[in-house]
A and B are shown apart, each in its own frame.
Chain A
Amino acid sequence: MQSSQTPVLDKFLGEVDRIVRDKNGVELQAFLVIEPPFNSLYEAMIAEMRKIYPKGKEGALEQRCSRMLKEAGEDAEGATWTIFVKFMANYLSFIRDVDPSNLLETYNILSELQQKANSALTSPSKGLIILPTVIAYARVFARLAIGLDKNPELIAHLVVQSNSEEDGRRETLPERAANILRTAFVTCLNDRGSGSGGVKDGKPDGKKVGIYKIANLCLKILFQCDKKMNAEQIFTNIYNQSPPLSIYPASERVTYLYYLGRFHFSTGHFFPAQMALQAAYDQCLASPACVGQRRLILIYLVAANMILGRFPTQSLYDRPEAAGLQAIFQPIVHTLIKGDLETFRRLVDWDSPNAPWLMRRYKMLLQIARLCEVIVWRSLFRRAFVLTGVQGDNETRKAPTLDLNYVLALFVFLEKRALHPPERLDKFGPAPDPPPEAYYIDPEFVGADGKPLEGYHANVSLPSMLNIESKCSSLISQGFMNGFISHKLKRFAIKGAKEKGSALAAGWPKFWDVINAEAPPDCPGWKQDVASSSAGGAFGPGMVVNLSNARPVGSGPLG
């Protein structure tokens, strides 16, 4: 008789059936292990299967599962959970066949198993039982997907294969993995089984327990494999449908806010980025074991804050997780405070010693170079006023003014110096003319001898008066300078000096204050505590949030 040939398997399936009857998801997950080495009981079961249900006999194995797993049959309400039977048969084939030395094959069969588990999760009445299993598998699955992405030689043939497909778009392995996990995430998000809007006694209820656990794994894959932009859908879904983030465990909150902050950072929404990252930093565990997480959060938080005109203090740099950050960021901060355009240009140059760190590792050099430049402009205009400005006269109601010709002279001086290596410059001497390599020649106008064609004038881009007026009006329109330009007199006149008590205070409001005054009320993607969110059903069409339309505060100056 067949049953006597597989006593261990029979006992195992009997136990699974009992666990399902008990609705004990945690025990089910502990039972359905997938990572070798397996203990002797599992090994005995695997040996039985290799003998009685070897490869190719999956149909018979599924029938066996179907007979043994009575709980998956029709229940009192007439609902069945046949997908669980398919999942169990697939699980048994998985542990029978898995060979951890073959990463790609392991990934492929785990991918199938994950999808079966995801399907079993969709059952409104019983899906919840398998949620801990889905999450546990998702962890392993994400690790494998990332591991394979980091070993392109293992998946090179897949890239070739998908290239040859005519679907117009190539989905990479990590994207596909994230998409598989996303289906489980969506199931959790859409769960209506709990009947409480996903919140019970201030805690997530039903499958909604899994929202952030699975979302964070998707995000981990997408960020590790440099597919951040694919994360937008996850953030939008959460913003529209999730219970508030605050009711989830701290580890899930901090991890999610880290990825959300980084997403906003990479899309140029620095204020929301700062909000999410600051909250992640504040809520992170203070234990020395978490210095790595705190450091990663802090690196992006420092960059976002810098762009918004808020700089780290010594107390921050002195924290263990900030070790070494002062050497990277403070020289840049110093140029922002001084308006030292020359040094700023050098520090954000692609050839600067810290560029690999800022550019390739943390992918923030372009943002800092592009957006912090506005802070340098503001400081240089301000310094020009400190050095050359004409104070106003309250009696005659004459406004304080700044001659833009001086501003132009300083901009040109610093830009010209930045074109030369510093060792070739006299610190206090005049700026030499731009070196030949600074001249731009359109490749279309280069002759065979490598020189520009006759009549073509190579160009070097240095600020002009028009350019200075444009910078000035840009700073005024964004509120970073307060006054108006006299185009005729080439002067910037400061408004409100009398009220503010000084020309400087009136002309140059604090950068952060200006940013803060225009800050968005919340951070898209971060579900806050609102009365309606726990009531359920409060998400009408009006709640649809398009993250790409979020106002990029701080990105305006050059945007």
Chain B
Amino acid sequence: MAASGPGAASTTKAGASDAKDGDTKDVQKPIAALEEDDEFEDFPVQDWTEEDTQLPGGNTHLWEESWDDDDTNDEFSVQLKEELKRVGKK
């Protein structure tokens, strides 16, 4: 996001802006009430069963634990390789 975007622009004046729908709504919306802790609303019902907690496609893989990256041709690695050349790595 550009530093001059609507989210960034309103950071100094928390609580003043109102949220608008758009691509950046999730960055923008919280800024409307930046200093406040979001309220954890009461649930519409008291109790429910385990079945009621299942989302469609509920058993999908949600967390990545094996994420090590060995790609040496990505931009970051190329950048590092350039620096290593400069410090004398053959």
Chain A contacts to B: CB under 8 angstroms: 146, 150, 220, 223-224, 226, 249-252, 254-255, 258-259, 282-287, 289-290, 292-293, 296, 305, 309-313, 315-316, 319, 323-325, 327-328, 337-340, 353-357, 360-362, 379, 382-384, 386-388, 405-406, 409-410, 413, 427-431, 504, 508, 510, 512-513
Chain B: residues with Cβ within 8 Å of the partner, total of 63
Question: B84 an interface residue at 8 Å Cβ cutoff?
Answer: yes
**Measured CA separation A259–B53 after assembly (Å):** 19
Contact A286 B40 (CB under 8 A): no
Residue picked from B50, B76, B84, most chain A C-beta under 10 Å = B76
The answer to whether residues A409 and B65 also contact, given A250-B47, A356-B31 and a CB cut-off of 8 A, is: no
The answer to whether residues A310 and B65 also contact, given A284-B53, A361-B38, A504-B70 and a CB cut-off of 8 A, is: yes
Contacts of A512 in B (CB 8 A): 65
**Measured CA separation A285–B84 after assembly (Å):** 53
A-side interface mostly: helix
Contact B76 A353 (CB under 8 A): no
Chain B contacts to A: CB under 8 angstroms: 1-3, 5, 7-8, 11, 14, 24-27, 30-31, 33-48, 50, 52-55, 57-58, 60-70, 72, 74-84, 86-87, 89
**Measured CA separation A313–B44 after assembly (Å):** 29
Distance in Å from the Cβ of A515 to the closest Cβ of chain B? 10
Contact A356 B14 (CB under 8 A): yes
Contact B54 A286 (CB under 8 A): yes
Distance in Å from the Cβ of A275 to the closest Cβ of chain B? 13
Distance in Å from the Cβ of B24 to the closest Cβ of chain A? 8
Contact A319 B35 (CB under 8 A): no
With beta carbons under 8 angstroms apart, the residue of A292, A315, A353, A513 that contacts B41 is: A292
Contacts of A315 in B (CB 8 A): 57, 60-62
With beta carbons under 8 angstroms apart, the residue of B41, B62, B76, B89 that contacts A388 is: B89
**Measured CA separation A362–B80 after assembly (Å):** 34
Contact B65 A316 (CB under 8 A): no
Contact A285 B53 (CB under 8 A): yes
Q: Which 8 pairs, one residue from A and one from B, show the smallest C-beta to C-beta distance?
A: A324-B26, A249-B47, A251-B43, A315-B60, A512-B65, A356-B11, A409-B87, A316-B62
Residue of B nearest to A213 (CB): B46
